[in-house]
Amino acid sequence: MGKALADYDFFDPEVIEHPYDFYRAAREEAPVYRLPNTNIFFVSRYADVREALKRTDVFSNEFADELNPPPKNPEALAIYAQGWETADTLLTVDPPRHRVYRSLLNKVFSNKRVEGMHDYMVQIVNELIDDWIDEGEVDFLNRFCVPFPIYVIADQLGVPREDIELFRYWSDCFGSRLSQFADEAQEVEDARAIVQFQHYFVDKIAELRENPADNIISDLAQARIDDNRLLTTEELLSIIQQLLVAGNETSRASIAAGVLYFIDHPDQFDKLESDPGLLANAVE
């Protein structure tokens, strides 16, 4: 028998690292649970989550102010003032506006493009594994789970390999800002990184508008919405940021957690190895 829901502090780093007991307590005791002293309502049952996602007339995505409140440190605020404002696209807009942005991504993530990535993704997997296979032991998180999505997303966004470390750093700073756990020094560091990210991609967008290439940013930079206008710099930065952050942290954590499950349940790994047809289910 685990702890009662009221005994958990959701923001305790230990709970964040291993939230599954908290999830179970929430599902059992209060499937719609207001986290104490916050305005966050935590919905933990599948059917309720689906309902909330589908009822866009009742539940709104317009939560940009909660997602990115201004930093407490005025120095960080002054640094953000040297960059571009945050536009609301994708994650923080409701239908029908949402569809305008989403259809852009549906085009750039077409089945054809994603299927075309298969061999090259396998090649990256092989290269990463070749790098440590003879060592007998590996920090799998940092030498596989972290670089794999970064490489793929960076390639898709047209970021050259020599800038990958920068790219990873920006992703982590966006994550830190989103977490709202940053202290005032970290707020300044995050602000610097985010404004640096903006300048980097503003240059890239200008370059790709001049000379289109076969990557997602180039497609987005040429795309037209509304009355046949190009996307604004703010809209483009918002979409690029979401691709960077949404694709990295999530894929990194799910690959790592998946491998951990297989380590804990070797019989399940044997099953998958003898019947690769189970792969889709295993990923799910």
Q: How far is CA 90 from CA 62, 114, 226, 237, 273, in A?
A: 10, 20, 15, 12, 38
Rounded least distance, CB 202 to ligand HEM, Å: 20
Q: What amino acid is encoded at 3 in this protein?
A: K
Applying CB under 6 A, the site for ligand HEM has a residue count of 12
Instruction: Compare residues 90 and 159 and give the one whose CB is closer to ligand HEM.
Output: 90
- Which CB, 158 or 247, lies closer to ligand HEM? 247
Which segment (41-49, 171-179, 240-248, 271-279) binds ligand HEM by CB under 6 A? 240-248
**Burial class, 221, CB count within 10 angstroms (exposed 0-12 / middle 13-18 / buried 19+):** buried
The secondary structure of residue 212, as a DSSP letter, is -
Q: Which is nearer to ligand HEM, 121 or 202 (CB)?
A: 121
Distance CA 18, CA 41 (A): 19
The nearest distance, CB 232 to ligand HEM, in angstroms, is: 18
SS3 201: helix
Closer Cβ to ligand HEM, 186 or 251, answer by number: 251
Q: Which of residues 241-270 bind ligand HEM (CB under 6 A)?
A: 242-243, 246-247, 250-251, 254
Q: Which of residues 98-157 bind ligand HEM (CB under 6 A)?
A: 102, 153
> Contact at 8 Å (CB) between 98 and 239?
no
Give the tokens for residue 32.
């719609």
Residue 182 interacting with ligand HEM (CB under 6 A): no
CB-based contacts of 28, cutoff 8 Å, min separation 6:
5
- Cα–Cα distance between 124 and 277 in angstroms, integer? 23
Closest approach of ligand HEM to the CB of residue 239, in Å: 7
- Touching ligand HEM, residues 26-55 (CB under 6 A): 53
Identify which of residues 91 and 230 has a Cβ nearer to ligand HEM in the complex: 91
- Least distance in angstroms from the C-beta of 72 to ligand HEM: 27
Coil vs helix vs strand at 42? strand
**Binding pattern for the stretch 65-104 against ligand HEM, x by CB under 6 A and - elsewhere:** -------------------------xx----------x--
For 81, the token pair is 């003032």
User: Is the four-CA dihedral 16, 21, 22, 23 of positive or negative sign?
Assistant: positive
Interface positions with ligand HEM (CB under 6 A): 53, 90-91, 102, 153, 242-243, 246-247, 250-251, 254
